[in-house]
Structure 1
Amino acid sequence: MNTYYAVAALIALGALTPGPNNLVVLGAGARGGLKAALPPIAGIVAGSLAMLAVVAAGLALPLSSPPARALAALAGAAYLAALGVRLLRARAATDAYAAALPRNAAGLFAFQFANPKAWLLAASVVALAPSRDAVLFTLYAAIPAVSLALWAGAGAMLARWFQAHRRGVDIANGVLLLAFAAFLAVENIMKISL
């Protein structure tokens, strides 16, 4: 059972740290509170569970070799960098989130399979977990759901501030996405060159 504590800590760390899912839910919370964030949260959690099932079943075999994982991470980094650029280039009058990231449950379900952070978390959790049982899937659903609800609540609490500083928020989120993409790219370029 102690290994599940480590698994839970890893899931919590992955869920709480900034990433594209959290940015979408933060924006949804800012626009319409927790109620508006529930469909995105449902899509993210369902997509993450589907991805975990794929990884746990061994169906992500191309990602089993280090070079393939590094190349997949580089492709994900390029995608996140493109999203960051879209946020930076969006005009203040447009909804940069709508231009850059999906916002509905179906779009966010599918987005999980293009999200490098989600792949890395799923692979790490499966490698660390003592078994692929109901406890693992429950932790993988409950912890991110709570984390995303917290991000949505933060968005709702800061809604007025976000509206007054919308362009700055978009720029900050774009920079965060670019920084995450750069970190991911550098880390994986080093793996390929080793």
Structure 2
Amino acid sequence: MHYLIKFTITVVIAAFTPGPNNSMLMQSGMIFGFRRSIQHILGVIIGFGFLFLCINFGIYALLIRYPLLHTIVKAVGTGYFAYLAYRMLVLKADKGEKGTGGGLSKNKKPLGFWGAFAFQWVNVKAWFFALSAIGILPPSRGAGQIVIPVLIVTVFTAGATCTWAYSGVLISKVFRNPIYLRIISSILAAFLIFIAVDTWL
């Protein structure tokens, strides 16, 4: 069972370090507040858990066998990253509602459950995260042996997503000037673009 220790360490590092999901959730917390970001959070948690299961049961082999499919996934991911970066730039924080935290933008809506769920399939870091973690598990494992790893992934993904979303709420309280929030959003958007470009290098 010592492999579970290595697996857990890998999951913790990957889940809490900066990435597309965490950057988007921080910005969502800044603009919409924590409560309105819950659907986004749940979409990431369940979406990544489902992706992890699918990769564990061999879906990545399809991408290796059919390079064109792999290229299509990358292309769709790049386009979606660009769209999300643009979305980050155009969202504006309002004064917000008392007690919600964050600035609520009434003209825009936060990313919903299904949008966040689908995003995991074109999220490069999510794929690398899942593949790296699965590589630590024993090669010969049945369906029952994947239950604990899935629970570990779910727990720490939940912790990371909530942490990053709430950090956005705290940032919006500290930096109340819309100019500062726009600068932070621009940095997060640039980070998404960098990741999208880096997938082709």
What's the TM-score, normalizing by structure 2?
0.75
Residue 137 of structure 1 corresponds to 150
Q: CA deviation at 1:103?
A: 0.9
Between the two proteins, what is the percent identity of the paired residues?
21
- 1:184 counterpart = 2:199: yes
1:30–1:159 Cα contact (<8 Å) kept: yes
**Matched residues, number:** 182
Residue 123 of structure 1 corresponds to 131
Deviation digits for residues 45-86 of structure 1 (CA, Å, limit 9, x no counterpart): 110111111111113322345967974674366236524652
Question: RMSD over aligned Cα, in angstroms?
Answer: 3.0
- Runs (5+) with no aligned partner, structure 1: 187-194
Against the structure 1 CA distance between its residues 171 and 12, is the aligned structure 2 distance closer, same or farther, given a 3 Å change threshold?
same
Name the CA distance, whole Å, in 1 between partners of 2:91 and 2:158: 31
Query: Where does structure 1 differ by over 4 angstroms across 4 or more consecutive aligned residues?
Result: 65-70, 91-95
Residue 192 of structure 1 corresponds to none
Specify which structure has the higher proportion of helix: 1
Deviation digits for residues 122-163 of structure 1 (CA, Å, limit 9, x no counterpart): 122222223442110001101111011110121111113165
Decide which of 181, 195, 198 is 1:166's aligned counterpart: 181
What's the TM-score, normalizing by structure 1?
0.77
Pairing 1:103-114 to 2, within 5 Å after superposition: 103-114=111-122
- Runs (5+) with no aligned partner, structure 2: 95-104
Pairing 1:63-142 to 2, within 5 Å after superposition: 63-64=63-64, 71=71, 74-75=74-75, 78-79=78-79, 82-83=82-83, 86-87=86-87, 90=90, 103-130=111-138, 131=141, 132-142=145-155
